[in-house]
Amino acid sequence: MNQDASGNKTKFVRVWKQLQVDEVKKQLLYIDDLYGTCGNCKKLGLNYLKDKKCPDCGNVFKYLATKVNQPSEIGKILSRIQKEGLDLVLIEREDFEKSSAQDAARDLFKF
């Protein structure tokens, strides 16, 4: 648990939000641990604490998605983002991939 500047206690609570899948894809960094892959050009080995944008395609990262699903590991990522004061939003990778897949399927069946 953390305290913000006004002394209010803050905790992580998952929020459901409608996102533009195409936009998110362009601003997404897939991470395993500390290192990740650019969602736009698939460049490997990016460090989300240091790489604010992709050195190859110039994408500025706004979202993180991870395969990690243990709450303790997710908690570590969230704490790290907060501690470093990073402007990154962690999204649920499964949700994102499902919505991307739906879009792909829709495109596929568009005649």
Q: For binding to Zn ion (CB under 5 A), which residues are involved?
A: 38, 40-41, 43, 54, 56-57, 59
**39, 27 Cβ separation under 8 angstroms:** yes
Rounded least distance, CB 43 to Zn ion, Å: 5
CA gap 25, 21 in Å, rounded = 6
Q: Which amino acid is present at 66?
A: T
Cβ closest to Zn ion, residue 49 vs residue 57: 57
Cβ closest to Zn ion, residue 74 vs residue 91: 91
Cβ closest to Zn ion, residue 27 vs residue 66: 27
CA gap 37, 43 in Å, rounded = 5
